[in-house]
Copies of this chain bind each other. A is one copy, B any other.
Amino acid sequence: MGAAPLHREVERRLVEHDVRYTRGRRAVVDALADSPGPRSAAELVVTMDDPVPLSSLYRTLSVLEESDVVVPHLATKGIARYELAEWLTGHHHHFICTSCGAVEDIELTPTDEEAVDSLVDRIAERAGYVPTNHELEIAGLCKECA
């Protein structure tokens, strides 16, 4: 999704929740849209042009989370990383480096995603559940750490 349609979608969602889509909130959405994976508050603050106080950044993230614009990702102990929700970015999975802790998005080929989907359906049904979503996280060594 381009930047303009993204902002339009986000604004519509925030207005529904009676919150304003301010400069600071746009900046966070932009930073997350530019990121190849989930980012923590500390990681975001260095990528953003105008310096943002952490207290404001955390508040912004929790406002965005409340409106389901961003979703927290809890792969690293003691740190919450955020990414745009899948209704904005599309469904994807994650790779987590066991050495340096980096988290990167993995987009599956349609064939692989179908394979995962049908496997998840089969597994869940066998266990007696109705699946609405799934999360596949692959751990290992990233290119840097290999």
Contacts and interface: CB of A to CB of B under 8 A. Distances in A.
Nearest to A96: B135
A62 B136 CA distance: 26
A133 to B, nearest CB: 4
Contacts of A127: 95, 104, 106
B143 A139 contact: no
Number of copies: 2
Interface residues of A, number: 41
Nearest to A75: B74
Interface string A132-146: 111111111111001
Interface of A: 72, 74-78, 80, 93, 95, 98, 104, 106, 108-109, 112, 115-116, 119-120, 122-124, 126-143, 146
